Amino acid sequence: MNKPPAQWCCNGYNSECPLCPEYGTSLLDPCPGHVATEDTRSTVDTARLHAERRHPDYEYATTTGPRKQWDDSDVPPYGDDGEPDTSWESNVDAGQPGTGWERFDYTEESYWRRRKQSTPVPAAFTVACAALHTDGQGNVVPCPGYPHADMAEPEPDNRDEDTRPEAPSAEESNPALPVEPDPRQPAYDAVYEYIRQLGGYLPPDPVHRNAIIWRAVQAALGATTVGRCVSSHCVDGDHMVFIPEVTP
């Protein structure tokens, strides 16, 4: 049987198409094709994000067991209480399409997903306030916003000008302190530039993620001319020293 042609929604088989009712089965019939609408494209795009485990609104987990000897492939990851956490659902789009599972030479893996817990920030917390607000039991509560109805008005200063402390001068209030540039800034810039080049890409396996991390480290090391002193004769110890640039 020849492989059916790939469709915009899948690789050609109905068991691998998230729009077909046979999705996740063992059937190898051709996908009949689907009309590309806003809803169908959204379904396919969401399935592909889950398959690559990079949907921004979800977090992912993997459970592993021995090949053909695993009875807990349908048990979700365990929570902090030592019991299966039912907030996880099978990530049916990962692994074998439509199953959320895959078998390897010595192991089997089940893939899980759950929506990230979004904690909206109360509007009261968005007020930048240095005052500590408490309720009747002494518990810290969010700032109710300005003006503070529970804050007493400052008492007027009735002292005469002779006993009143002199206000600080403009120079004292705004000292012109020298700003030393951070010698490690070139390393930060090099890493951020490398991250920007990656875009939204993040490899799903540890080996390639490790390679990306080390490329970022190499970019940082190549950009900085600063090192940390490790000399046993150094009286200061553990301070930053400049490394002279080597010109070819």
Q: What is the pLDDT of residue 173?
A: 60
Higher pLDDT: 232 or 25? It is 25
Residue 175: alpha-carbon gap to chain centroid:
39
41 assigned to some structural domain: no
What is the DSSP pairing of strand 226-228 with strand 240-242? antiparallel
Which structure tokens are listed for 88?
């996880």
34 assigned to some structural domain: no
Residue 219: alpha-carbon gap to chain centroid:
22
Please give the Cα distance from 139 to 132 (Å, whole number): 10
∠ CA 17-22-24, nearest 5°, is 70
Q: What is the pLDDT of residue 121?
A: 44
Q: Which amino acid is at 151?
A: M
Q: pLDDT tens digit string along 148-187?
A: 554 445 556 566 666 666 766 666 665 555 555 666 677 7
| Helix pair angle (206-223, 185-198), 10° resolution | 140
Q: What is the pLDDT of residue 127?
A: 42
For residue 148, what are the CA distances in angstroms to 137, 144, 153? 19, 7, 10
Of 131, 126, 64, 69, nearest in space to 101 by CA: 64
130 CB-side CA count, 13 A: 0
Q: Is the pLDDT of residue 21 over 80?
A: yes
Which structure tokens are listed for 62?
């993997």
Domain that includes residue 189, residue range: 185-242
24 assigned to some structural domain: no
**Sign of the dihedral through C-alpha 7, 13, 15, 21:** positive
Q: pLDDT tens digit string along 23-79?
A: 999 888 999 999 999 999 999 999 999 999 999 999 999 999 999 889 989 999 998
Q: pLDDT tens digit string along 81-113?
A: 889 999 999 999 999 999 999 999 999 999 999
152 assigned to some structural domain: no
Please give the Cα distance from 226 to 141 (Å, whole number): 45
Q: Is the pLDDT of residue 248 over 80?
A: no
Please say which residue of 83, 115, 130 terminates a domain.
Answer: 130
Q: What is the pLDDT of residue 100?
A: 92
Instruction: Give the pLDDT band of residue 236 (cuts 50, 70, 90).
Output: low
Please say which residue of 102, 130, 158 terminates a domain.
Answer: 130
Q: pLDDT tens digit string along 107-155?
A: 999 999 999 886 454 444 444 454 556 666 666 666 655 455 544 455 5
Please say which residue of 113, 130, 147 terminates a domain.
Answer: 130
* pTM of structure: 0.48
Number of structural domains in the chain: 2
Q: What is the pLDDT of residue 37?
A: 92
Element of type H or E holding 142: none
In the three-class reduction of DSSP (H, G, I as helix; E, B as strand; rest coil), residue 123 is classed as: helix
Please give the Cα distance from 148 to 153 (Å, whole number): 10
Q: What is the pLDDT of residue 76?
A: 94
Higher pLDDT: 220 or 26? It is 26
Q: Is the pLDDT of residue 244 over 60?
A: no
Instruction: Give the pLDDT band of residue 2 (cuts 50, 70, 90).
Output: confident
Q: What is the pLDDT of residue 128?
A: 45
For residue 104, what are the CA distances in angstroms to 14, 107, 111, 119, 178? 23, 5, 14, 38, 61
69 assigned to some structural domain: yes
**Sign of the dihedral through C-alpha 204, 210, 214, 217:** positive
235 assigned to some structural domain: yes
DSSP 86-127: TT-EE-TTSBSTTTSEEE-SSEEEEEEEEE----PPPGGGGS
In a shared domain, residues 126 and 192? no
Higher pLDDT: 228 or 137? It is 137
